[in-house]
Amino acid sequence: MVGHILEREIIFKLSKALEDIDVEVMHCEVSFAALKSGIEEKMPSVMRFYLVGSKKDREKAVQKIEKLAKDTDCRIDYIRERTG
């Protein structure tokens, strides 16, 4: 997810959005080029993570994440399903 992750409290909103779905957000990383630019919303940050759970629950979670991204002016940069 790309956007103003910290400033718009996306991490907390993501946790709330997924609380009723049996998935876990793993290896969550938030990165930004410069702290000041990120805090002042001059430059977006990037949040990377893995969803762990059944395929059905991951699909539900992705729908919630897409809605959250839209509602907070963020975007989903890349989604990849890993099997095996």
Burial bucket for residue 39 (CB in 10 Å: 0-12, 13-18, 19+): middle
CB neighbour list of residue 40: distance below 8 Å, 6 or more residues apart: none
Euclidean distance between CA atoms 10 and 20, whole angstroms: 17
Confidence of residue 38 (pLDDT cuts 50, 70, 90): low
Report the pLDDT value the prediction gives residue 83, as an integer from 0 to 100: 65
Q: Does the pTM of the predicted model rise above 0.95?
A: no
Confidence of residue 2 (pLDDT cuts 50, 70, 90): very high
- The closest of 68, 80, 78, 67 to 4, measured between CA atoms, is 68
Mean pLDDT for all residues in the chain: 89
